[in-house]
Amino acid sequence: MEVTEAMMTNGTCRYYKEDAIPDDVLMRVLDAARYAPQGGNRQPVRLLVVRDPEKKRQLKEWYLQPWNAYMAAAKDGMIKIGSGELPRVLTDADNFANAMDKIPALVVVCAVMDDIHPTDMDLDRPTVVYGCSIYPAMQNMVLKARDEGLGTTVTTLLCHFEPQVKALLNIPNGIATAAVVAMGWPAKPFPKKLDRRPLSDMVFFESYG
Ligand SMILES: Cc1cc2nc3c(=O)[nH]c(=O)nc-3n(C[C@H](O)[C@H](O)[C@H](O)COP(=O)(O)O)c2cc1C
């Protein structure tokens, strides 16, 4: 698939078939993550694929706690999602949350913290540079999944349960969980168009705004 088409049609998948991902397909998708840039070529990303039904059930149970709280807040109007169609977005995401254990693969994106050198730690705000050596690899994986016809859902809610997730999956000290990416064959067609702001809202030249 042409890379621009993959980027422009890679919407978040909310409905999955339960069919397994063949190993050769999965390995091609995971392999794409290796080619992402990261600071100093220190390659801090590790990918932990969870396919075991009991482990997926446990991950879903944890996920549902912040998700159900988020959904309740969204319904009360305390959280704004997207640019309209709140109920549809919520219904789709709620379906995803409740079916999470049936999705063929949950890929835990892990970060070797000692191999990341964020350059914004001394600023008076939370660091964002930490993620710069992690998320390009995740995005490579997600785009390659689209190329193979697989849907994906990037999630971060399970980071609330990082200690529990690490214990469940034997993730050692010094390794952080950066995201959990659900992956499988989509039960609905890929979107033809994503709901995004116009380019003029996000691109500036020479001076901000
Ligand atoms: C950093 C990050 C965290 C996200 N966390 C979640 C999550 O925990 N649960 C979820 O259902 N979707 C999550 N998403 C998916 C977003 O909701 C989705 O990318 C956004 O609504 C745009 O959807 P679209 O690409 O289908 O247009 C996350 C996406 C990103 C990039």
Q: Would you write out the chain's pLDDT as a tens digit for each of its 209 residues?
A: 999 999 999 999 999 999 999 999 999 999 999 999 999 999 999 999 999 999 999 999 999 999 999 888 887 777 766 555 557 888 899 999 999 999 999 999 999 999 998 999 999 999 999 999 999 999 999 999 999 999 999 999 999 999 999 999 999 999 999 999 999 999 999 999 999 999 999 999 999 99
pLDDT at 47: 98
Q: How far is the CA of 153 from the centre of ligand 1 (A)?
A: 7
Q: How far is the CA of 13 from the centre of ligand 1 (A)?
A: 9
* Cα–Cα distances in angstroms (integers) from residue 190 to residues 136, 138, 187, in the given order: 22, 19, 9
Q: In whole angstroms, what is the distance from residue 196 CA to residue 152 CA?
A: 18
Half-sphere exposure of 66 (CA within 13 A, CB side): 11
pLDDT at 74: 81
Q: Whose CA is nearest to atom 11 of ligand 1?
A: 93
Q: Is 159 in the pocket of ligand 1 (CB under 6 A)?
A: no
In three-state secondary structure terms, 120 is: coil
Q: How far is the CA of 154 from the centre of ligand 1 (A)?
A: 6
Tokens of 79: 């959280």
Q: Is 98 in the pocket of ligand 1 (CB under 6 A)?
A: no
Q: Whose CA is nearest to atom 8 of ligand 1?
A: 155
Q: Is 195 in the pocket of ligand 1 (CB under 6 A)?
A: yes
Q: Whose CA is nearest to atom 6 of ligand 1?
A: 155
Q: Is 6 in the pocket of ligand 1 (CB under 6 A)?
A: no
pLDDT at 170: 98
pLDDT at 80: 66
Number of other CB atoms surrounding residue 125 within 10 Å: 6
pLDDT at 82: 58
Q: Is 85 in the pocket of ligand 1 (CB under 6 A)?
A: no
The preferred substitution site among 88, 139, 155, 177 for testing ligand 1, maximizing ligand atoms within 8 Å of CB, is 155
What pTM was estimated for this model as a whole?
A: 0.94
Contacts of 56 (CB under 8 A, 6+ apart): 50, 100, 101, 102, 103, 106
pLDDT at 131: 96
Q: Is 130 in the pocket of ligand 1 (CB under 6 A)?
A: no
Q: In whole angstroms, what is the distance from residue 126 CA to residue 53 CA?
A: 36
pLDDT at 84: 54
Q: Whose CA is nearest to atom 5 of ligand 1?
A: 155
The domains of the chain, with CATH numbers, are: 3-202 (3.40.109.10)
* Cα–Cα distances in angstroms (integers) from residue 122 to residues 73, 118, 125, in the given order: 34, 10, 8
pLDDT at 173: 97
